[in-house]
């Protein structure tokens, strides 16, 4: 069976564990509403379309982030995808978040490890009206801070998409 290890990084409260749950097709609301900050790295496994997924969810509190940087080369082994999550509703943390991303990528670059990143602008809820200037600024600092050699794609994501799907299921 094909194995795919995905690591999810970002600041605390950005929505990583919620995203991990939705990847696992968890749909009961309780799982989403009872989330606690992730302590350290939470590893989970599931199978989808004959692929064995391994999700490494890196709790984003500051006390853990330092430790990840020290051991990153070990954690990154056999990774096929890196997802970096930014809470698009928390403008005050944009810069800190991009700095953390840059630090991670610089460590990888030093080790000669290059990835294509998926950057999620998460909590992009339907009723959320982004400050266009702030988003432009975020895109600019991402471009400036990401070390050369890495490519990235940006996605607008939200957890409610999952429940909307269920909604239409009941409507039809
Ligand atoms: N509005 C909104 N809130 C969300 C969304 N996704 C997650 N949240 C909320 O954001 C909060 C943090 O979610 P988590 O998934 O626990 O965040 P995390 O990145 O895993 O946090 P740490 O484990 O501390 O690093 C929770 O209250 C979630 O319900 C979203 O798409 N929109
Ligand atoms: Mg978490």
Give the chain's domains with CATH numbers: 2-171 (3.40.50.300)
Q: Give Cα 138 distance to the centre of its chain.
A: 16
Give the Cα separation of 55 and 23 in Å (integer).
9
Q: Pocket residues for ligand 1 (CB within 6 Å)?
A: 10, 12-18, 32, 35, 37-38, 59-61, 122-123, 125, 158-159
Nearest residue by C-alpha to atom 6 in ligand 1: 15
Tally Cβ neighbours within 10 Å of residue 44: 14
* Ligand 1 atom nearest 20 alpha carbon: 15
**pLDDT tens by residue, the chain, 172 residues:** 899 999 999 999 999 999 999 999 888 888 888 899 999 999 999 999 999 999 999 999 999 999 999 999 999 999 999 999 999 999 999 999 999 999 999 999 999 999 989 999 999 999 999 999 999 999 999 999 999 999 999 999 999 766 555 444 443 3
Nearest residue by C-alpha to atom 4 in ligand 1: 123
Q: Which residues pair with 152 in a beta bridge?
A: 117
């Amino acid at each position: 069976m094909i194995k795919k290890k995905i690591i999810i990084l970002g600041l605390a409260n950005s929505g990583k564990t919620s995203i991990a749950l939705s990847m696992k097709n968890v749909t009961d609301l309780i799982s989403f509403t009872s989330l606690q900050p992730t302590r350290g790295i939470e590893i989970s496994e599931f199978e989808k379309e004959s692929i064995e997924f391994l999700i490494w969810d890196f709790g984003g509190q500051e006390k853990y982030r330092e430790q990840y940087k020290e051991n990153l080369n070990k954690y990154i082994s056999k990774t096929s995808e890196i997802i970096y999550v930014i809470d698009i509703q928390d403008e005050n943390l944009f810069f800190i978040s991009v700095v953390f991303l840059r630090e991670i990528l610089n460590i990888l670059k030093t080790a000669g490890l290059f990835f294509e990143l998926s950057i999620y602008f998460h909590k992009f809820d339907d009723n959320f009206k982004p400050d266009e200037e702030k988003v432009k600024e975020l895109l600019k600092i991402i471009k400036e801070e990401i070390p050369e050699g890495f490519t990235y794609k940006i996605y607008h994501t939200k957890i409610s998409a999952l429940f909307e799907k269920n909604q239409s299921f009941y409507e039809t």
